[in-house]
Structure 1
Amino acid sequence: MLVAQTSRLIIRHFNHQDTDFIINLLNQPSFINNIGDKQVRNHSDAINYLNNGPIASYQTYGFGLNMVQLKQDNTPIGMCGLLKRPELAHPDLGYALLPEHWRNGYIEEASQAVLADAAKQHKVDNILAVTKPDNIASNALLSKLGFTVIGHKSLYGSDNNLYQKQL
């Protein structure tokens, strides 16, 4: 299902045809260091990740992490979407991008589209975000998107900056 389109990107729900991309993205050193090791190493792991993560979230909340593709040729470059974690009172913005596509403004563009969809389609008005304090690029992006640091949150064994944005 299509979530949003921008001038350069297509943002859509993940499906089972995305397993090779998921394996690649989730095993990038930057993903493991900044987000965590999801232990997704093969096709079966990727199907389980998709079924128990994004696809389950779509079914439960109507939103989740989404595939981000380049509009010009449908090349998958990352993920961006909302998560609803039991540890957090409100949905939070999550994103990851293959390193070869960094520094092109893609995640900012995808995040703006996802946040607009959250407000319009899902009536979400309070969004959180978490990122490690030493993830300079992610902290800068969240500030640029209008998020404000409201504290710290320990998630999955890591201390994180906790951000909030009113939509």
Structure 2
Amino acid sequence: MRVVETERLILHKLTVEDSEFILALLNDPLWLRFIGDKGVRTLDDARDYILKNLVAMYERLGFGLYLTELKGSGVSIGICGLIKRDSLEDVDLGFAFLQEFRGKGYAYESASAVMEYGRSSFGLSRIVAIASPDNFDSAKLLEKLGFRFEKMVKLADDCESVSLFASNV
């Protein structure tokens, strides 16, 4: 189901049919470095991840991370969407793209559209985003989107601190 459309992209809810893509994305070296190892190693793991994390959030909140595809070709290039983590007060913006689609403006294009979708469909007046302190590309993108660094936070007691950015929309 199409959720957001931009000039070059279509974003829609993920389903178990997207398991191959999720398996590839969650094992991308930059995903593992900056987001973390989710333990997804097989197609069955990917299906479980989609159902227990992504589909469950759609059902619970009405939003989540969306598959981002190139308009016309339908090639899956990444994910972008809104997440509600138990450890954060606000809804946060999340995004990740396969290596060959980075640096082409797709993350900015999809994130801008997702933020507008969050404002118009869910009445969000504040959206946050987190990034590893050494993820300079994500920090640069967040600043371009209008986010400002707010503070360092820990998402869990046993986790490293991450940079929290905020956008009052």
Moved over 2 A (4+): none
Structure 2: gaps (5+ residues): none
Determine the structure 1 residue equivalent to 2:66: 66
Q: For residues 36 and 66 of structure 1, what CA distance do their matches in structure 2 show?
A: 19
Q: Is the 8 A contact 1:22 1:46 kept in 2?
A: yes
How far the C-alpha of 1:158 sits from its partner, in A, is 2.1
Task: Report the Cα distance in structure 1 between the residues aligned to 2:111 and 2:125, rounded to whole angstroms.
Answer: 15
* Alignment TM-score, normalising by the size of structure 2: 0.96
Instruction: Give the TM-score normalised by the residue count of structure 1.
Output: 0.98
- Alignment size in residue pairs: 167
Instruction: Pick the aligned partner of 2:163 from 143, 161, 164.
Output: 161
Q: How many angstroms apart in 1 are the aligned matches of 2:77 and 2:155? A: 25
Paired residue for 1:76? 76
Q: Are the counterparts in 2 of residues 80 and 107 from structure 1 also a CA contact under 8 Å? A: yes
- Secondary structure at the aligned position of 2:134 is classed as coil
AA aligned opposite 2:22: I
The 8 Å contact of residues 3 and 114 in structure 1, kept in 2 or not, is answered as: no
The whole-number CA distance in structure 2 between the counterparts of 1:158 and 1:96 is 20
- Indicate if the aligned counterparts of 2:93 and 2:129 stay in contact, CA closer than 8 A: yes
- Tell me how far 1:155 sits from its aligned partner: 2.7
Aligned to 1:106: 106
- Report the identity percentage: 38
Question: CA RMSD for the aligned pairs?
Answer: 0.8
Q: Could you tell me how far 1:3 is from its partner in structure 2?
A: 1.2
Question: Retained in 1: the 8 A contact 2:88–2:155?
Answer: no
